[in-house]
Amino acid sequence: MGALGSHFHRGRLRPDPGQRGGFSDAGRPASLADDQLAVVWKRTYDPLTDVAAAGIVAVDGGLAIVGSGRPTASAALDVLGVRTDLYGNLLYFRTEALDKDQTLAAAAALPDGGLVAVGTAAAAVGADVLILRTNAWGYGFCSALGDCLTTSPASCDDGSPCTAENCTAALGCQHNPLVQGAMCSDTGKCSSGKCL
Identify the DSSP state of 156: H
CB-CB neighbours of 174 under 10 Å: 14
The model's pTM: 0.76
Give the integer Cα–Cα distance in Å for 39 and 23. 9
Q: Give the closest residue to 45 by CA, choosing from 2, 110, 94, 106.
A: 94
Give the integer Cα–Cα distance in Å for 12 and 27. 10
Q: Which of 20-29, 74-83, 145-154 has maximum average pLDDT?
A: 74-83
Mean pLDDT of 68-89: 85
pLDDT at residue number 32: 66
For the ranges 23-27, 104-108, 174-178, the lowest mean pLDDT is seen at 23-27
Q: Give me the sheet containing 39-43, strands edge to edge.
A: 14-15, 23-25, 30-33, 39-43
Contact residues for 36 (Cβ-Cβ < 8 A; gap 6+): none
pLDDT at residue number 146: 77
Q: Which of 78-82, 85-89, 123-127, 180-184 has maximum average pLDDT?
A: 180-184
pLDDT tens digits along 1-35: 222 233 333 333 333 444 444 444 444 456 666 66
Whether 153 has a pLDDT exceeding 60, the answer reads yes
Whether 60 has a pLDDT exceeding 70, the answer reads yes
pLDDT at residue number 135: 87
CB-CB neighbours of 101 under 10 Å: 16
Whether 62 has a pLDDT exceeding 70, the answer reads yes
List phi, psi (to 5°) of 149: -65, -35
Give the integer Cα–Cα distance in Å for 80 and 104. 7
pLDDT at residue number 9: 30
Contact residues for 116 (Cβ-Cβ < 8 A; gap 6+): 107, 108, 110, 131, 132, 133, 134
List phi, psi (to 5°) of 144: -90, 0
CB neighbour class for 82 (10 Å; exposed up to 12, middle 13-18, buried from 19)? buried
